[in-house]
């Protein structure tokens, strides 16, 4: 006797859609997706793309929580789609593009405003008389000041979640300020003065209102708030 297969468990994805070249305003589309073991939100979007709707736009690259490309707003909170398992969510899931950034199509945002602010803090090491490799002894403890804040994957989740970016589009934002602090705290770097000048600007570290949204959503566990506080300290008391 053959036994009927159990109906597959499903989830309902509600995806915010918008194509600025054809749509007057954003709208929601509902998809029902059969759940597979260990399925992530990104896997579910692929299932929609391949089986239901080839017009759905989303961005990804590594599929391993390393590149930051798949950051989006899942059930109202910024997260990496490839690192968010359906098992941790309910049966109805909302998926939206990152906030505070122009929409290219559906879940794909234009990262240009984020990168423009990143560029403003001189986001690279300026070595001066120092040459790589590092001259700071690994066991000195001096490197540990920035170790915890170094792993930013520039996914822009913090930028999207920041209420100050929402109210002041010129605000540099948590990721750029965190990057600035990492370089300011690097004793080999020689561009500290120009970075601190940018950080002290009207739209820099002193505009932060300590909402901590950036800390809550960072998929790397970075605390940009801490970097911002240290930048302020550096400017005010030179420490
Ligand atoms: S696809 Fe690279 S972080 Fe998700």
Which of 58, 60, 108 should be mutated for ligand 1, with most atoms under 8 A from CB?
Answer: 60
Q: Do 140 and 100 have their domain in common?
A: no
- The atom number, within ligand 1, closest to the CA of 59 reads 1
Ligand 1 center–CA 71 separation, angstroms: 7
69-72 LR contacts (CB < 8 Å, sep 24+):
69/155, 70/42, 70/155, 71/98, 71/155, 71/156, 71/157, 71/160, 71/219, 72/41, 72/96, 72/97, 72/98, 72/107
Give the range of the structural domain holding residue 193, as residue numbers without chain letter.
112-237
Which of 44, 82, 98 should be mutated for ligand 1, with most atoms under 8 A from CB?
Answer: 82
Q: Do 104 and 117 have their domain in common?
A: no
Mean pLDDT over the full length of the chain: 92
- The atom number, within ligand 1, closest to the CA of 81 reads 4
Of 112-116, 226-230, 235-239, which range is least confident? 235-239
Let me know if residue 20 belongs to a domain.
yes
pTM: 0.92
Does the structure show a pLDDT above 80 at 134? no
pLDDT recorded at residue 91: 96
Residue 202 confidence class, pLDDT cut points 50, 70, 90: confident
167: CATH = 1.10.1060.10
Q: Do 206 and 121 have their domain in common?
A: yes
């Amino acid at each position: 006797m053959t036994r009927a297969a159990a109906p597959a468990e499903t989830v309902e994805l509600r995806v915010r859609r918008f194509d600025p070249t054809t749509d007057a305003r954003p709208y929601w589309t509902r998809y029902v997706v059969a759940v597979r073991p260990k399925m992530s939100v990104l896997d579910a979007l692929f299932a929609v793309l391949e089986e239901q709707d080839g017009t759905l736009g989303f961005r990804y690259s590594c599929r391993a929580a390393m590149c930051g490309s798949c950051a989006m707003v899942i059930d109202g909170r910024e997260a990496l789609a490839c690192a968010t398992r359906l098992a941790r969510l309910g049966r109805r899931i909302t998926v939206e593009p990152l906030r505070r950034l122009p929409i290219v199509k559906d879940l794909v945002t234009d990262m240009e405003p984020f990168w423009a602010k990143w560029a403003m803090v001189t986001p690279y090491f300026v070595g001066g008389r120092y040459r790589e490799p590092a001259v700071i002894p690994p066991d000195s403890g001096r490197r540990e000041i920035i170790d915890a804040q170094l792993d930013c994957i520039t996914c822009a989740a913090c930028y999207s979640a920041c209420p100050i970016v929402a109210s002041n589009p010129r605000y540099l934002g948590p990721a750029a300020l965190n990057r600035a602090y990492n370089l300011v705290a690097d004793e080999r770097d020689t561009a500290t003065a120009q970075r601190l000048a940018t950080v002290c600007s009207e739209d820099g570290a002193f505009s932060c209102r300590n909402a901590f949204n950036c800390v809550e959503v960072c998929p790397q566990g970075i605390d940009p708030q801490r970097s911002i506080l240290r930048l302020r300290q550096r400017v005010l008391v030179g420490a």
